[in-house]
Chains A and B, each alone.
Chain A
Amino acid sequence: MLAILVFLPIAAFLAILFGAPARLTALAAAAVNLALGLYAVFTWQCACWSFSLPVLEKPAMNLAFGFTDGMSVIMVLLSVIVTLAAVLSGKAPEGREKLYFGSSLLISAGALGAFAATDLFFFYAFHELALVPTFLMIGMLGRGDRRDAAWKITIYLGLGSVILLAGLVWLANLAGTYDIPTMLNAAKSGALKIDPVAQKSIAALLIVGFGTLVSLFPFHSWAAPAYASAPAPVAMLHAGVLKKFGLYGLLRLAIPLVPEGLQAWLTPLLVLLLGNILWVGWVTISQKRLDRMLGNSSVMHMGYIFLAIAALIAFPENPLARSAAIVLMFAHGISIALLFSLADRIERSTGTLDLQELGGLAKAAPKLAFLFGIGAMASIGLPGLANFSGEILVFLAAFKSYNGSSGLGPVQITCILSIWGVVISAVYMLRAYRSIFQGPAVKATESARDISFFGRIPAVLLIVALFAVGLYPNLLLNLLNKF
């Protein structure tokens, strides 16, 4: 059944290509997928979700999908929720509907395929499949310096993918199989023992490769211009879903397969993730446009997920870190998608995203202000919304091994510095909210339209998800506690 989930958007894409009404087809596919995804949450342990089709005999390669564990389920759920919201929020330029909605579907299919694949080759290939339409959409339908932005993201992600590929192929080569569950079982039972020197090199390739895809500092500078320029659904899908591929990969492959190798890189990783949180945090503070600011903030927040990963690397027995990372991945995906979607609404309603040209929009558009406020508060990490649940678990995970008897270790010190990032995000988010929505109305906002009923639907969909996980994180955690 997972194959249906993955191929439905592709089928819809083909249908659009051959003349089906673009928006409607995309909506229908996304809605069906959301239903399937929700169904999967309750039934994912059933073998009926698995799918395998031999592609190549030697080396054995299968087009295979399956829920390896709760993490895949949560990532699939994130993908289908954001996809529907993205398709609902999108407004294609005249005459470009096919490209616009078709590409969105392809990105979604790529992400779903990558999260559901149990074969290393397809795991990688589906992610690449999603990147092509991302580049195209930014390059052709983007705003502002779209060519520059498209260039930069192509170079960065292209190079990152190559480095990643080298790591993955090396890994597959040592494991002697492309089948991910087989690899994981071999590693667990001790049958697969990778020698420490190779581990170290593979770990480096995977950190840099996956890291570039997740905008790990200093490989992050593609992200803000790309998101600022991308059409709303692309920004939502990439920042919300596709970017999590790198983190998913680290958790799925690197942590279980090359644990010692990662340990060798722990200190550099801690430094880099602080670069994400503090350096990029300060970069975010000085942004003058909302889209740029959101792009940078999404880079910044990746640091917290890397912190959870670092905690897991430092103490492989840490029970909290993995779940914390997954909850935060989900939360961030939903919240950044919400913010990008609403930023697009602000632009449609006022014609600008320049913070200095905006002000007092809450008067003309109170509903938009309310929804954006929830997104902003989620991003700041306010309790009751999903991001807080993730962040507090990450911090607890980082302190899990601290018992007061010995001093603070490097992970704890990094964690303390990271918590300062919570102040930084409050600074830039509240400043942005202040200058867009509060104060007296200005020219751009005097007669702005409020968000319509249909415009609110995608935002409400995302907000419900944020509240569900924020008010009761066990909804997600229960999926992870079951094996």
Chain B
Amino acid sequence: MNLAWLLILLPLAVAAANQLVLKKTGLAPLISTASAIATFVLAVLLLGKNETSHFAWATIGDFSINIGYKLDQLSTGMMIVVTGVGMLVHIFSLAYMKEDSAKARYFTGLSLFMFSMTGIVLADNFIMTFIFWELVGLSSYLLIGHWYQKDSAADAAKKAFLCNRIGDFGFLVGILMLWGITGHLAFDSMKGGLEHFIAANPLIATGVISAAVLCIFCGAIGKSAQLPLHVWLPDAMEGPTPVSALIHAATMVAAGVYMLFRLQFTLGFEHFEGLTASTVIAWTGGITSLVAALMATQQDDIKKILAYSTLSQLGYMVMAVGLVAGEAGMFHLFTHAWFKALLFLGSGAVIYACHHEQNIWKMGGLLKKMPITGFTFLIGFLALIAVPGFSGFFSKEQILEAAHEKNQALFWIAAGVAVLTPFYMTRLFVVAFLGKTKSENADHAHEVGPLMFVPLLLLAVLGFAAGYPAIASKLAPAYHQPEHLIHLGLVTYVSIAALIIGVVTGFILYTGKDKDPVSIPLFQNRFYLDAIYEKGIVRYFQDAFAMIISFIDELLITGLIVNGSSRAAASFGNLFRKVQSGSLQGYAFCFGLGCLFVIYFAVFGH
């Protein structure tokens, strides 16, 4: 068996073995972790390969749906992110979940996730992408709901699944339309089909393609948590923190960006320039990045702040893809994966050390209490706010450059986000890590063990260095090396000014404070979008609508028509004074009538 198939199937085999055999033995966590390390090695071995292979999964006549893999720079680079973060999260989890009674289930979920994510990345056709897309949704559901006895966790898991499903509705329609347009499902043959279609229908081509792309984008809106389906991601923080690092920061939520980029790459970037769909995508990303950053400024839960920051950064990436500058988006995906995983695992270490305290206003002084965690968190923080020299700086510069070149309005939105990001992250860092401890839990905090801090250190190295061409050109998916490492110009000045404004304001406002001096209910309450969805759309629209329909169904169809006819039949039955149970009468009556028909036609029909 070749390495790529092994890479796909190993985590599935491990998940199955865990569930069926190893659950009770206590070996499940170790086996899962070993498999995660093995997949990372496999991913490294596959770097830079170019090949495809597939087998027929469902065949009807000469049509078939295939399952296969496509190795190219894009997919092998993405596999490094998935398996690299995955491996470190597995190791971190060994310690983080040590005392959990259901850790076998947890690691089974992680392995299932690794399988599904690998499938999305390596897929060589759109149906396969969709299959694994759904499976990723399942593993996310299982892991968010790991502590299912908690109402909040169970609700969050359900919400995540349903938001994703709504996006997948559009995604599937888009895939079907694209299949109709190009006549193919496999990535390799789509481009030819598309060009043939454009040549045959020059007038309507852009409109139809735009519609299909927009439908497909719905899938990305769900999975990458863009407005208006972003609501599930902050709630998903109910899951164990390593899960948030792996799935809800570094890999799964980036799958939407990856998929869109794969789409553009497959069909040819030239077809996306000036397409209405591209404009919609870019603006969705831009608005999401701004709105999420605003929400992040007023959150108190350390994981929630990071979650909104993830939304905001994903918005950047989506915007880049919409501007048909997907390389920049993919580069940011690559650097973001490392430093955001680092920040989440760091917050996990903090939460672990503070006995499950997540409120930053009850932390404080953690840099002294937990020097390694604090120091690595600092590196992640500097990378996220894009301090020159750190990985986040290089990738964000590319996105801002692209925006500056193609759309001024979006460039200034992105610049606004570049002010907000250092502001809310400074707030987080100053309140939680500096100053005095603000609660007993934080007082008792002490440094975590090596199983936790070694992954942090490794991520810190990458979080710092992943942006340099020496590393990025080898590992990053679709990396496009710029001519100069730093290109001084308006964009750089704006972003450095933004950085300084954000950090300084954050320091001035929050140093030495015990509670938030700023209170903006609109941001605290997430622009009231969650409430509008829950009360407005779900309760008063969907459920009320369902109730009304159910009522009519009961009343009209059941009540009038059927009971009416059954009453008629019943009285008819009484006429014949049959005493047995009513159902038998009715049946006998009908059957008798039926027999009469048979006899009539059999005898007189010829």
A interface with B by C-beta (< 8 Å): 59, 121, 128, 131-132, 135-136, 138-140, 147, 150-156, 158-159, 161-162, 165-166, 169-170, 172-173, 218, 220-222, 279-280, 282-283, 285-287, 319-320, 323-324, 360, 362-363, 377, 382-384, 388-389, 392-393, 395-396, 398-399, 402-405, 412, 415-416, 419-420, 422-423, 426-427, 430-431, 434, 437-441, 472-474, 477-478, 480-481
Given A287-B550, A403-B197, list of 17 further CB < 8 A pairs? Answer: A121-B598, A132-B587, A135-B587, A139-B583, A147-B581, A151-B566, A170-B601, A282-B549, A382-B134, A383-B130, A392-B127, A404-B197, A404-B201, A426-B165, A430-B158, A434-B158, A481-B60
Enumerate B40-76 residues with CB–CB distance to A below 8 Å. 56-63, 65
Task: Give every chain B residue within 8 A of A396 (Cβ-Cβ).
Answer: 65, 176, 179
CB atoms of A286 and B546 under 8 A apart:
yes
Give CA–CA (A384, B148) in the complex, Å: 24
Interface presence of B545 (CB below 8 A): yes
CB atoms of A221 and B60 under 8 A apart:
no
What size tier do the contact residues of chain B reach? 35 or more
**Which of the segments B252-260, B281-289, B527-535, B557-565 contacts the partner chain?**
B557-565
Name B597's contact: one of A138, A166, A412 (CB within 8 Å). A166
Chain B nearest Cβ from A365, distance in angstroms: 13
Top 9 closest pairs, chain A to chain B, by CB:
A158-B590, A438-B154, A402-B180, A404-B181, A383-B131, A285-B546, A150-B583, A282-B546, A286-B546
Given A151-B566, A319-B61, A283:B550 Cβ within 8 A? yes
CB atoms of A481 and B61 under 8 A apart:
yes
Interface presence of B482 (CB below 8 A): no
Give CA–CA (A396, B130) in the complex, Å: 13
Interface presence of B388 (CB below 8 A): no
Count contacts between A and B, CB distance < 8 Å: 214
Enumerate B588-606 residues with CB–CB distance to A below 8 Å. 589-591, 593-594, 597-598, 601-602, 605-606
Name A162's contact: one of B145, B150, B204, B594 (CB within 8 Å). B594
CB atoms of A473 and B162 under 8 A apart:
no
Scoring B residues 156 to 179 as 1 if CB is less than 8 Å from chain A, else 0, what string do you get? Answer: 001001100110110011001101
- The CB with the most chain A CB atoms within 10 A, among B131, B148, B208, B593, is that of B148
Give CA–CA (A172, B606) in the complex, Å: 11
Chain A nearest Cβ from B41, distance in angstroms: 26
Closest to B559 in A: A221
CB atoms of B172 and A395 under 8 A apart:
yes
Task: Give every chain B residue within 8 A of A360 (Cβ-Cβ).
Answer: 149
Given A152-B562, A393-B58, A473-B57, A441:B589 Cβ within 8 A? no
Name A422's contact: one of B151, B169, B546, B598 (CB within 8 Å). B169
Name A286's contact: one of B200, B543, B587, B591 (CB within 8 Å). B543
CB atoms of B558 and A221 under 8 A apart:
yes
CB atoms of A218 and B172 under 8 A apart:
no
Give CA–CA (A422, B169) in the complex, Å: 7
Name B162's contact: one of A158, A426, A480 (CB within 8 Å). A426
Chain A nearest Cβ from B219, distance in angstroms: 12
Chain A nearest Cβ from B427, distance in angstroms: 34
Give CA–CA (A438, B147) in the complex, Å: 9
CB atoms of B562 and A155 under 8 A apart:
yes
Give CA–CA (A420, B218) in the complex, Å: 13
Give CA–CA (A420, B581) in the complex, Å: 42
Chain B nearest Cβ from A393, distance in angstroms: 7
Task: Give every chain B residue within 8 A of A324 (Cβ-Cβ).
Answer: 60
Name A151's contact: one of B586, B591, B594 (CB within 8 Å). B586
Give CA–CA (A394, B544) in the complex, Å: 31
Give CA–CA (A283, B551) in the complex, Å: 8
CB atoms of B589 and A158 under 8 A apart:
yes
CB atoms of A323 and B60 under 8 A apart:
yes
Given A282-B549, A384-B135, A477-B58, A169:B197 Cβ within 8 A? no
Closest to A470 in B: B131
Given A402-B180, A477-B59, A481-B61, A283:B549 Cβ within 8 A? yes
Scoring B residues 275 to 312 as 1 if CB is less than 8 Å from chain A, else 0, what string do you get? Answer: 00000000000000000000000000000000000000
Interface presence of B553 (CB below 8 A): yes
CB atoms of A147 and B553 under 8 A apart:
no
Give 7 A-B contacts (CB < 8 Å), ordered by A residue: A135-B583, A162-B593, A173-B605, A382-B134, A405-B200, A423-B162, A440-B149
Interface presence of B582 (CB below 8 A): yes
- The CB with the most chain B CB atoms within 10 A, among A363, A398, A474, is that of A474
